Structure 1
Amino acid sequence: MEIKEIITVTNKFLVEEFEANPTDIKPEANLKSTLDLDSLDYIDMVVVIEDNFGFKVKPEDFQSIVTFQDFYDYVTARVQQKELV
C-alpha cells in the first residue's frame, strides 16, 4: 500500500468517524487538538485503524504521535512491516 493511499484512507475515516473538517487535516497540524480527541476517542481510533489496515495497535504507540504526518508515518511503517511478513 502506497503512502498516498494510506493518507486517503486515513483522512476518509477521520472525517467519517471523528467528524473532522477535511480542511483542518494538514500534515503539520496537531492530531489531538484538531480532532479534539479524548481517551475514548483514541480507543475508537485504534479499532478503526485495525479494521482499515489489518494490524494490531498498541496504545503506547500513540505517545509519539503528535501531528497528522506522525500518524501517517506510523500507519505506513506498520503496513509495510505487515506486508513483509
Structure 2
Amino acid sequence: MSYEEVFALIKEAMVELFELEPSQVTPEALLADDLDLDSIDAVDLVVFLQNKTGDKFEAETFKSVKTVDDVVVAVVDLAANA
C-alpha cells in the first residue's frame, strides 16, 4: 500500500472509531495531545487496521509513534516487509 492509501485508511479509522473531524487528522497531528487518543484507542486502531488490511500488526510496533504520520509510516513499512 502507498503512503496516501494508508493515510486515507487511518484517517477513515480515526473519524469512524474516535469521532474526530476529518480536518483534525493531519500527518502532523499528535495522537495524544492533538487528538486526545490513549493506549486503548491505539489498540482499537491496530485492530481496525488488521481487519482492513489483512496484515498482522504487533502493538509493540506502535509504542513509539507520536503523530499520525508515524502511524502511517509504521503501517507502510510493515506492509512492505510482510
TM-score category by the smaller chain?
Answer: 0.7 to 0.9
What residue in structure 1 maps to residue 42 of structure 2? 42
Native 8 Å contact 2:29 2:35 kept in 1: no
Using structure 2 for the length normalisation, give the TM-score. Answer: 0.85
Unaligned runs of 5+ in 2: none
User: Would you say the 8 A contact 1:6–1:76 is kept in 2?
Assistant: yes
User: Contact conserved, 2:30 with 2:66, CA < 8 A, in 1?
Assistant: yes
Gaps of 5+ in 1: none
1:59 equivalent in alignment to 2:59: yes
Per-residue Cα deviation, 1:25-73 (whole angstroms, up to 9, x for no partner): 1111101233322232222112111111222222222221011111110
**Number of equivalences:** 82
CA distance in 1, matches of 2:28, 2:52: 23
Using structure 1 for the length normalisation, give the TM-score: 0.83
Query: Which stretch has the larger CA shift, 68-77 or 39-48?
Result: 39-48
RMSD: 1.4
SS in 1 for 2:57: coil
Report SS of the residue matched to 1:31: coil
2:28–2:68 Cα contact (<8 Å) kept = yes
Structure (1 or 2) with the larger CA radius of gyration = 1
Q: Determine if contact 1:25/1:34 at 8 Å carries over to the other structure.
A: no
- Greater fraction helix: 1
Q: Which consecutive aligned stretches of 4+ in structure 1 deviate over 4 angstroms post-superposition?
A: none
